[in-house]
A and B are shown apart, each in its own frame.
Chain A
Amino acid sequence: MKDSLVLLSRVPAHPDSRCWFLAWNPAGTLLASCGGDRRIRIWGTEGDSWICKSVISEGHQRTVRKVAWSPCGNYLASASFDATTCIWKKTQDDFECVTTLEGHENEVKSVAWAPSGNLLATCSRDKSVWVWEVDEEDEYECVSVLNSHTQDVKHVVWHPSQELLASASYDDTVKLYREEEDDWVCCATLEGHESTVWSLAFDPSGQRLASCSDDRTVRIWRQYLPGNEQGVACSGSDPSWKCICTLSGFHSRTIYDVAWCQLTGALATACGDDAIRVFEEDPSSDPQQPTFSLAAHSRQAHSQDVNCVAWNPKEPGLLASCSDDGEVALWKYQRPEGL
């Protein structure tokens, strides 16, 4: 396990503030970071070092909590505590604000683009999840307002290939949504966590969903379609989701983020104990009851809570992390031998 996670670079991305979130662009060449200083910075490599290519300093009145790139890589969405979500269009050297999505009652906690690029989801402390549709003229319209959660919604993420949306909340549940006729409905509620669910990540196939929580566990959920071989009951035509694995005893504090590498299947976590951990699925384990082993553990990855971990979509093993200490760190992960 030693040397399986090596630090490549550390950057003071949001000095005197927190760095809340990171997002790699689809090409894997740029890393967007956002923070409590209300700014968004775009990082790229120049030789061996990471430099700040752009700063977006106007646009939000309060903390920027999350950023997300569109599937085409030309747009960046930013979710802010000022209750708005901005959509930025990437031009040659800069970013220009295309529109500001308003409507949430208070802090927007997350934003995510659907794989088709036509839909956007946002969620907020106002307990709602909103689905937006964008047309060819970059006009955004609200398509649905979902009030299924009973508390603050922390994160939204789309399935890698289907128009299926997942949300995580302070109400300890994960909910899934899909389109039905001319509206969106909650088609599943995943219960099991004993405290706030902070983040979610789908596996490369989209059949499994990882959730991480304030209860210091990571849970893996699997989708069972109606008529499945394993005999898992489904109601109507909606798939059922069952918790097939719980990773407990590894984290000593709240787990704020989980990231599932779409290239290698490795699972990374960001923890309130300042550490980053990487888990690998045991190749011989039963797919219905998988086991995961701790493959890397960087105890003092940052000097404060780690808020986000993000795998580079093109370069296997390249992991970015950020922390309350305002720094962004880049790591090289190598699967240990004999694991």
Chain B
Amino acid sequence: MASPFSGALQLTDLDDFIGPSQDCIKPVKVVKRPGSGVARIHIEDDGSYFQVNQDGGTQKLAKARVSLNDCLACSGCVTSAETVLITQQSHEELRKVLDANKTAAPSEQRLVVISVSPQSRASLAARFQLNPTDTARKLTSFFKKIGAHLVLDTAFSRNFSLLESQREFVRRFRDRANSSVALPVLASACPGWICYAEKTHGSFILPYLSTARSPQQVMGSLVKDFFAQKQGLTPDKVYHVTVMPCYDKKLEASRPDFFSQEHQARDVDCVLTTGEVLKLLEEEGVSLSEVEPAPLDGLSSSTSAEEPTSHRGGGSGGYLEHVFRHAARELFGVHVDEVTYRPLRNRDFQEVTLEREGQVLLHFATAYGFRNIQNLVQKLKRGRCHYHYVEVMACPSGCLNGGGQLKALDMPNRDLLQQVESLYGMVKVETPEDVPGVQELYDQWLQGESSERASRLLHTQYHAVEKASSGLSIRW
């Protein structure tokens, strides 16, 4: 079965040849019960295990499960068997939570929040022949019908990712004389790229990565910290689902950095791909086009809108475009209207420059797809990378072409992608600095743009993954 993960992730993570000595070190929580004595295990005819207590009572033991998170925590031996598990698991998981809510006591119920990415929405819009606003309204209605309480748009949290990226670049650019790893700044919103970078290039590449959190994970902070508090709930009482264009985002949500030890809860509990949302629709016997639209939600009254909004700069978030225009203004006092992209060896590798009197002031690039990532990293290793900022994405053509997007039914993939791009581009564009509610959140929730809270909730860290070097792990 062809792997649904991005090409970059496929090459590094999937390995069906597990060496004999690699013990699965799943961190199992051992519950110590008072009393001495060894428990006896009895195996039934059907293969189920029962623990026989000292008083003769029996307890059926749950089957040990190794989930995706456990595997990643171990330093990753994600085999193709596991990928099959992940790809089939998530919308069932959501169902379980929604069903549990129906029968649970009010104090046991969880508040279900679903954050939809603009890329997934564009893919659904293309499939159901709807415009983005109707798609957003109908999705809101559908999710609420099956039990969700709030439906949000990650374009809102993307404002924070973009603002933090802009500020970080200017800071690092100004600091470049003091640090050999200040530049280039490499965008880090793509988990396929991050997992590849951590595994294959480790400590060499990590200092270059932007520390700004991705829109998915900023939304995680917004929902589990800001919103949960407002509702008087602890983070574990909120079930946060995101709808994303790729499977790699599931790995991002599973990162230990996005797990709160204090509350034992993840910032994002479940990631559904666009395809899994389609499955949900199909299981409900519903066609999105027939759903009655509902008004759009927001995190607060100042953030809900009549129609969805987006950002300029393409379907992968617009990082290059925003960082470039902000840097041009902040560093050189230049106002850039239209950003001109110059394609290089292929259309997934493009350049943008800011020049003045023949001098290059800023030199930025986009590098999408594994082959371009390869070339970028090799140039960086040889000291031949002249870019100040690179928007790196693992998927050729960017997020709109992610592995979890809906496939073309009766037309060439290229044509569908164009349709999805055009639907994505139809949405009203906003400048992060001007979005209502964003500044308010910086002031009230984060207590300032440069505060410790802003740094903790809007930024993250990366970790080099050490390769196991025991003799038994040599591949023959």
Residues in chain A within 8 A of chain B (CB atoms): 102-103, 105-107, 125-126, 128, 130, 133, 141-145, 147, 182-183
Question: Given A103-B378, A105-B11, A182-B346 in contact, is the A145-B475 Cβ separation under 8 Å?
Answer: no
How many of chain B's residues touch chain A, expressed as a range? 10 to 19
Tell whether, in the assembled complex, residue A105 and residue B345 are in contact, meaning their CB atoms are under 8 Å apart: no
Given A142-B375, A182-B346, A182-B348, 20 more contacts at CB 8 Å?
Answer: A103-B378, A105-B11, A105-B200, A106-B475, A107-B475, A125-B475, A128-B11, A130-B371, A133-B345, A141-B375, A142-B374, A145-B7, A145-B11, A145-B371, A145-B374, A147-B7, A147-B10, A182-B345, A182-B347, A183-B346
Which B39-76 residues have a C-beta within 8 angstroms of A? none
Q: Give the secondary structure class of B's interface.
A: helix
For A131, give the chain B residue with the smallest CB separation.
Answer: B371
Task: Please tell me if B370 contacts chain A, counting CB pairs below 8 Å.
Answer: yes
Tell whether, in the assembled complex, residue B12 and residue A105 are in contact, meaning their CB atoms are under 8 Å apart: yes
Nearest CB on A from B238, distance (A):
38
Tell whether, in the assembled complex, residue B370 and residue A145 are in contact, meaning their CB atoms are under 8 Å apart: yes
Question: Given A107-B475, A125-B475 in contact, is the A102-B11 Cβ separation under 8 Å?
Answer: no
Query: Which residues on A sit within 8 Å (CB–CB) of B371?
Result: 130, 142-145
Task: Please tell me if B403 contacts chain A, counting CB pairs below 8 Å.
Answer: no
For B3, give the chain A residue with the smallest CB separation.
Answer: A147
List 14 A-B pairs, Cβ < 8 Å.
Answer: A102-B378, A105-B11, A105-B200, A128-B11, A130-B371, A133-B345, A142-B375, A142-B378, A143-B345, A143-B346, A145-B370, A147-B10, A182-B346, A183-B396
Measured between alpha carbons, how far is A42 from B374 in the docked complex, in Å? Answer: 32
Measured between alpha carbons, how far is A125 from B345 in the docked complex, in Å? Answer: 27
Measured between alpha carbons, how far is A182 from B347 in the docked complex, in Å? Answer: 7
Measured between alpha carbons, how far is A145 from B12 in the docked complex, in Å? Answer: 13
Measured between alpha carbons, how far is A106 from B200 in the docked complex, in Å? Answer: 11
Nearest 9 pairs of A and B residues by beta carbon: A182-B346, A142-B374, A142-B371, A145-B370, A103-B374, A145-B371, A141-B375, A105-B11, A142-B375
Measured between alpha carbons, how far is A143 from B375 in the docked complex, in Å? Answer: 9
Measured between alpha carbons, how far is A285 from B440 in the docked complex, in Å? Answer: 84
Measured between alpha carbons, how far is A144 from B200 in the docked complex, in Å? Answer: 19
Tell whether, in the assembled complex, residue A126 and residue B396 are in contact, meaning their CB atoms are under 8 Å apart: no
Nearest CB on B from A153, distance (A):
13
Nearest CB on A from B474, distance (A):
10
Query: Which residues on A sit within 8 Å (CB–CB) of B396?
Result: 183
Nearest CB on B from A271, distance (A):
22
Query: Which residues on B sit within 8 Å (CB–CB) of A130?
Result: 371
Cβ contact of B11, chosen from A126, A133, A142, A143, cutoff 8 A: A126
Nearest CB on A from B466, distance (A):
16
Nearest CB on B from A102, distance (A):
7
Measured between alpha carbons, how far is A145 from B395 in the docked complex, in Å? Answer: 12
Nearest CB on A from B430, distance (A):
33
Measured between alpha carbons, how far is A126 from B10 in the docked complex, in Å? Answer: 9
Which B74-113 residues have a C-beta within 8 angstroms of A? none
Nearest CB on A from B81, distance (A):
14
Nearest CB on B from A118, distance (A):
13
Per-position contact with A for B239-268: 1 when CB-CB < 8 Å, else 0?
A: 000000000000000000000000000000
Per-position contact with A for B361-379: 1 when CB-CB < 8 Å, else 0?
A: 0000000001100110010
Query: Which residues on A sit within 8 Å (CB–CB) of B11?
Result: 105, 126, 128, 145, 147
Nearest CB on A from B385, distance (A):
13
Measured between alpha carbons, how far is A118 from B17 in the docked complex, in Å? Answer: 36
Query: Which residues on B sit within 8 Å (CB–CB) of A182?
Result: 345-348
Measured between alpha carbons, how far is A103 from B348 in the docked complex, in Å? Answer: 19
Query: Which residues on B sit within 8 Å (CB–CB) of A133?
Result: 345
Measured between alpha carbons, how far is A34 from B12 in the docked complex, in Å? Answer: 28
Measured between alpha carbons, how far is A102 from B10 in the docked complex, in Å? Answer: 17
Measured between alpha carbons, how far is A144 from B371 in the docked complex, in Å? Answer: 6
Query: Which residues on B sit within 8 Å (CB–CB) of A102?
Result: 378
Measured between alpha carbons, how far is A144 from B346 in the docked complex, in Å? Answer: 10
Which B378-406 residues have a C-beta within 8 angstroms of A? 378, 396
Which B330-372 residues have a C-beta within 8 angstroms of A? 345-348, 370-371
For A128, give the chain B residue with the smallest CB separation.
Answer: B11
Nearest CB on B from A314, distance (A):
36
Measured between alpha carbons, how far is A143 from B371 in the docked complex, in Å? Answer: 6
Of residues B12, B345, B371, which shows the largest number of chain A Cβ atoms within 10 Å of its Cβ?
Answer: B371
Measured between alpha carbons, how far is A319 from B475 in the docked complex, in Å? Answer: 34
Query: Which residues on A sit within 8 Å (CB–CB) of B346?
Result: 143, 182-183
Nearest CB on A from B197, distance (A):
13
Measured between alpha carbons, how far is A102 from B371 in the docked complex, in Å? Answer: 12
Which B1-44 residues have a C-beta within 8 angstroms of A? 7, 10-12
Tell whether, in the assembled complex, residue A141 and residue B345 are in contact, meaning their CB atoms are under 8 Å apart: yes
Query: Which residues on B sit within 8 Å (CB–CB) of A142?
Result: 371, 374-375, 378
Query: Which residues on A sit within 8 Å (CB–CB) of B378?
Result: 102-103, 142
Query: Which residues on B sit within 8 Å (CB–CB) of A125?
Result: 475
Nearest CB on B from A182, distance (A):
4
Nearest CB on B from A25, distance (A):
28
Measured between alpha carbons, how far is A147 from B7 in the docked complex, in Å? Answer: 8
Measured between alpha carbons, how far is A141 from B7 in the docked complex, in Å? Answer: 18
Nearest CB on A from B205, distance (A):
13
Of residues A106, A133, A143, which shows the largest number of chain B Cβ atoms within 10 Å of its Cβ?
Answer: A143
Nearest CB on B from A126, distance (A):
6
Nearest CB on B from A23, distance (A):
25
